[in-house]
Amino acid sequence: MQILLADAIFTPDTILRNHGIVFDKTILTIAPNSELRAQYGAQCQELGEGSVIMSGLINAHVHLEFSANRSTLTYGEFMPWLSSVIANRDELIHSCESECMERATQEMLDNGITAFGAVSSYGFDLDACANTPQKVVYFNELIGSDPLMADALYGNFQERLFASQTVKREGFYPSIAIHSPYSVHRILIQKALKYALENEIRVTAHLLESPAERQWLDTNSGDLQPFFQNFLKQTTAANTVEEFLAYFKEVPTLFTHVIHAKEDELVTLQQGNHTIIHCPISNRLLGNGVLDVQRLNSHNIRWVCGTDGLSSNYTLNLFEEMKIALFMHPDHNLPELSRKLWRSVTVDAADALRLNCGTIAPSYDADLLVTRVNYEINDQLPIHLLLQPPHIESVYIVGEKVKG
């Protein structure tokens, strides 16, 4: 059992001044420092002035296999970026071995990320994700729109999924990713979702990321048309948006991006109890537009933040991601948005990923950050923590100190 006494305990909804926390693997008690000193005496660890305890952060969406990218890929618009990914895919993948992906997981840990959702295209990141101290929701990705290749594509997907299911450690959750409505045939989607439903497996998918995707799915035309005609000899989209969403009716899913959804599609997303993953830096770098979080709020759709991968970001740092989002949505009330952003990387992300963390309350896993600020702590701390990120002194996962 450990007892930490802090200047403040921070959650998105409360700031508890001069409070401490008692925990082992889970959180046992939160109480005023004076009460904990009286009860535990010398067992208490005094963290001192400017110390802030907060929940470990949760990065809902990251691609580790492209972590070698620094300046190889083309930013500005989606189609030039996609073309550069295809042209440089083999080089990037082969230049990022386990050590490269382990550096990426360490970067996340150093930045306070104690859990993440890893979308794995090839399974090359399995060892890095299995060996990291963080909780990992490991999304094995299914892709392929050619019905003639359906059996082979599903077999490859199953092989990777089954390999991830051999990892036996606390905090590792084999899961399923459906790449997107334009890149996966309905036969494959239905088979994978049937398996997910029967085995209570977590599911994620990309959806409506770019204007090109929207046009292709709606009209079988636009910038994606020559791509599918030249590479895959396809003249029509694999699914409409309506068809795609209908497959997920009984499977609450984390849909990434969803920038270009129509009103009826948002209604469907709300009715299905789905979650949207917002990746603001990636959206800007690929020229895809800005997710209207006010629309999501009005439809009562939960949204969380993720960094995406280093193929479309320059960092795996949720403090930076939230700061960018703070400025990307100028019409949103600033204090309200800052609190919502903090929820999006803690309690809401944990709920969406079905993890027992993200909340500082009894019975939740003790995934905690001990941080320090060099400015006055007041009721605008949710904003200041984004503008002037704290120094992270220690990181605990399930009560075990893994950093500091």
Amino acid at 365: D
- Tokens for 95, please give them: 């230049």
Strands of the 113-120 sheet, one edge to the other: 57-62, 113-120, 135-142, 172-178, 203-207, 254-257, 275-278, 302-305
According to DSSP, the β-strands at 113-120 and 57-62 are parallel
- Tokens for 133, please give them: 């101290």
For this structure, is 200 an active site residue?
Answer: no
Query: What is the C-alpha separation between 389 and 216, in angstroms, rounded?
Result: 41
Strands of the 27-32 sheet, one edge to the other: 27-32, 19-23, 2-5, 44-46
| R_g of the chain, CA atoms, integer Å | 21
DSSP string, 375-400: S---TTHHHHHHHSPPEEEEEEETTE
Choosing from 141, 209, 213, 321, which is the catalytic residue? 209
Length of the chain: 404
Specify burial of residue 402 (Cβ count, 10 A radius: 0-12, 13-18, 19+): middle
Which DSSP letter does residue 148 get? G
Query: What is the C-alpha separation between 14 and 276, in angstroms, rounded?
Result: 25
Q: Of the candidates 391, 402, 324, 334, which has an alpha carbon nearest to the alpha carbon of residue 368?
A: 402
Query: What is the C-alpha separation between 126 and 98, in angstroms, rounded?
Result: 9
- Catalytic machinery residues: 209
